[in-house]
Amino acid sequence: MYKVLKREQIVPNIHLLAIESSSVHQNARAGEFVVVRADERGERIPLNLVDWNKDSVSMVFMEVGTSTSKLASLKPGDEIATLAGPLGKPTEEVQGKKIACIGGCYGIGALLPVIRMFKEKGNHVTTIIEARSEFLLYWQDKLREYSDEFQEITRDGTKGHKGHINDVLVDYIKKNNVDMVYVQGCTYLTYLCSEITRPSGIKTIVGLNPIMVDATGMCGVCRVIVAGETKFGCVDGPEFDGHQVDWDNLIARRKIYINEEISSLSFYECERYG
């Protein structure tokens, strides 16, 4: 069992979870994830590592169903049944590049260790975060610390640019010599950014979130098609070249798991709920 050190709601439905650990930090790198299980009967949930030290690891998650609701109810001193990791392949380390890093929803938190690594490697980092409204944006000060430029987008115009990421990103890459775009968030956000950068050929790395079970490559549930080949999100990812992902296949597989009660929502809204 693993002790909960902290659990707090950052913004509605988005929570920070810090778990006691004396070993995960030894090999943890930006872009990797852990698998947690709230109790012995709970499902295994993959969560991006957002921070770590010699005493604990921290994750950000979105509360959308029974298992994440269990995590959201935890208090300091409680225990969880499983903490496995670090898992996956770390983010590619590059140097001297101009990189635009984009995050939405739980992906805002997942950006933190990545932009920190990019900045430490001497890259020029532009961070862009987006949400439906100002009250859903978070960690601006943490992200600004490692960003040369910082922008916010809200669809209702309550903070920063009004509109969608496509308006801001199209304009940004027109005005700047961008070497790489990095995206964390829902499937629609990663897909949209990949399509925006495709015509200009800008390298685009996306953090995918296919459904996982064992997270070791054995079950095959998290398979995705990348450059015409079958890959597994857990061991080959979770980050891939967005221009090589078969998005039609990925989206179709995710739709299988969408809850009936939100089936009438638009695809963008469905992805926001999970």
User: Looking at the structure, do residues 17 and 81 belong to the same domain, yes or no?
Assistant: yes
State phi, psi for 46 to the nearest 5 degrees: -80, 130
Domains identified in the chain, total number: 2
Tell me what pLDDT residue 261 has.
36
pTM for the full model? 0.91
Tell me what pLDDT residue 257 has.
60
- The distance of Cα 241 from the centroid of its chain, to the nearest Å, equals 15
Tell me what pLDDT residue 258 has.
54
* Domain edge (last residue) among 28, 62, 87: 87
**Which residue ranges of the chain lie beneath pLDDT 50?**
259-274
The string of DSSP codes covering 102-140 is: EEETHHHHHHHHHHHHHHHTT-EEEEEEEESSGGG---H
DSSP 20: E
DSSP 245: B
User: Looking at the structure, do residues 61 and 167 belong to the same domain, yes or no?
Assistant: no
Are 68 and 43 in contact by the 8 Å Cβ rule? The answer is no
What is the radius of gyration, based on Cα positions, of the chain? 18
The per-residue pLDDT for range 137-176, each reduced to its tens digit, is 999 999 999 999 999 999 999 999 999 898 899 999 999 9
User: Looking at the structure, do residues 27 and 124 belong to the same domain, yes or no?
Assistant: no
- Helix (H) or strand (E) holding 183, with range, is strand 180-184
Rounded to whole angstroms, how far apart are CA atoms 83 and 81? 7
- Domain range for 56: 2-87
- Is residue 93 included in any domain, yes or no? no
State phi, psi for 194 to the nearest 5 degrees: -65, -40
- The distance of Cα 94 from the centroid of its chain, to the nearest Å, equals 19
Tell me what pLDDT residue 272 has.
41
CATH number of the domain residue 52 falls in: 2.40.30.10
Rounded to whole angstroms, how far apart are CA atoms 33 and 166? 28
Helix (H, G, I), strand (E, B) or coil at 274: coil
- Which residues, at least 6 apart from 190, have a Cβ–Cβ distance to it below 8 Å? 183, 184, 206, 207, 208, 242
CATH number of the domain residue 123 falls in: 3.40.50.80
User: Looking at the structure, do residues 61 and 160 belong to the same domain, yes or no?
Assistant: no
Tell me what pLDDT residue 215 has.
80
User: Looking at the structure, do residues 36 and 169 belong to the same domain, yes or no?
Assistant: no
Is the bond preceding residue 238 a cis peptide, omega within 30 degrees? yes
User: Looking at the structure, do residues 226 and 180 belong to the same domain, yes or no?
Assistant: yes
Tell me what pLDDT residue 273 has.
35
* Domain edge (last residue) among 87, 121, 142: 87
The DSSP bridge partners found for residue 124 are 98
* Closest by Cα among 191, 111, 97, 99 to 145: 111
User: Looking at the structure, do residues 35 and 117 belong to the same domain, yes or no?
Assistant: no
**Residue 65: other Cβ atoms inside 10 A:** 13
